[in-house]
Amino acid sequence: MRFYITSFIIAAVSLISFAAVQFTGHIETVYVFDFDLPGFPLTHIHKGILPLPVYLLLYPLAECFHYMTVTFHEPGHALAYWLFGTPALPVMDAVHGGGVTYSIGRSRAVLFFIYLLAAGAAWLLAHKKAWRPLGILAVAVVAHVALLLTGMDYPLAIFMGHGMEVATCCWCLARATRVRNPLPEFERYITMVFGLHLMGRITLLPLSLIIVDARRASYGMQKGRPGSADLDKFAHELGLPMEGAAWVLLAVFSIFLLVTLAYISKRKA
């Protein structure tokens, strides 16, 4: 019980500042410093949200978790690009903060290699008479071809940054509550806290985009030009408003979270 209570408290503390930033929409600010760091905007402190000392204590913690998130958010984009034959490189964004993934266009050689690997895996599974994995592979290949032919691979690659956050959140929660061969206590705390923090971030971001007009405007400009944010681009590709893309993220996360919680409950963690 102490493990769960402490983990929730630490995660909640790290999310308080993040929530304040998301829902203020950067409307009223008071400048308290004359310098700034990329992705670490301590020059503006929101009026009436938190006392300045509390804000200065909490925001660095939230930003620390944020940059931990970037280390697998951007690889999520890159992995999706590579799986559809597009070489991509995830890097930290030293100009605007966060990260960015550069892609250079689809390579037929990479795509051919992917299908060659799939054919080799299919031959091995058939040789071992592993029919269920072979069926799963066949469905995956058909879905892969369908996404390529319909051009939906690009919106999927855009979404997979947040998709990797969803996967990592669920993995952290399941790993921290493992019954057989449990993690050492300190590692359990770190894993659970990060999983809970991700749960909060994945929920608060789309909610702020749905509720706060100013937040949608500032979010869309996060890379210095309109329409440069992930959910903004995802919404444009699907012909949705940004609120629609936010609802899609919430729906996907809810499904995966419910499956994870059912799995945790089944093994009586």
- Report pLDDT digits (tens) over 60-78: 666 677 777 888 888 899 9
Neighbours of 258 (CB within 10 A): 11
Rounded Cα distance, 124 and 56, in Å: 57
Span of 102-111, 139-148, 158-167, 252-261 with lowest mean pLDDT: 102-111
Looking at per-residue confidence, does 137 or 99 come out higher? 137
Predicted local confidence at residue 81, as pLDDT: 93
Predicted local confidence at residue 35, as pLDDT: 40
Predicted local confidence at residue 160, as pLDDT: 94
Rounded Cα distance, 145 and 171, in Å: 28
Q: Is there a contact between 242 and 232 (Cβ–Cβ < 8 Å)?
A: yes
Reference 253, options 206, 189, 193; nearest CA is: 206
The pair of structure tokens assigned to 170 is 């669920």
Predicted local confidence at residue 38, as pLDDT: 44
**33: pLDDT confidence band, cut at 50, 70 and 90?**
very low
Reference 160, options 244, 239, 82; nearest CA is: 82
The pair of structure tokens assigned to 222 is 């996060």
Q: Is there a contact between 86 and 107 (Cβ–Cβ < 8 Å)?
A: yes
- Measured CA angle at 13 (ends 8, 15), to 5 deg: 95
Looking at per-residue confidence, does 207 or 47 come out higher? 207
Query: Residue type at 259?
Result: V
Span of 107-111, 150-154, 211-215 with lowest mean pLDDT: 211-215
Rounded Cα distance, 150 and 260, in Å: 31
Q: Is there a contact between 93 and 46 (Cβ–Cβ < 8 Å)?
A: no
Bridge partners of 100, per DSSP, are: 91
Looking at per-residue confidence, does 20 or 91 come out higher? 91
How high does pLDDT run on average in the chain? 79
Neighbours of 125 (CB within 10 A): 18
Predicted local confidence at residue 148, as pLDDT: 93
Q: Is there a contact between 48 and 74 (Cβ–Cβ < 8 Å)?
A: no
Helix (H), strand (E) at residue 102: strand 99-103
Neighbours of 209 (CB within 10 A): 26
- Tens digit of each residue's pLDDT (9 = 90 or more) over 189-204: 888 888 888 888 899 8
> Whole-prediction pTM value?
0.77
Neighbours of 35 (CB within 10 A): 6
Predicted local confidence at residue 28, as pLDDT: 37
DSSP state of 231: H
Q: Is there a contact between 228 and 221 (Cβ–Cβ < 8 Å)?
A: yes
Predicted local confidence at residue 123, as pLDDT: 94
Q: What is the dihedral of CA 230, 140, 116, 151, to 10 degrees?
A: -40
Q: Three-state SS for 255?
A: helix
Rounded Cα distance, 138 and 92, in Å: 36
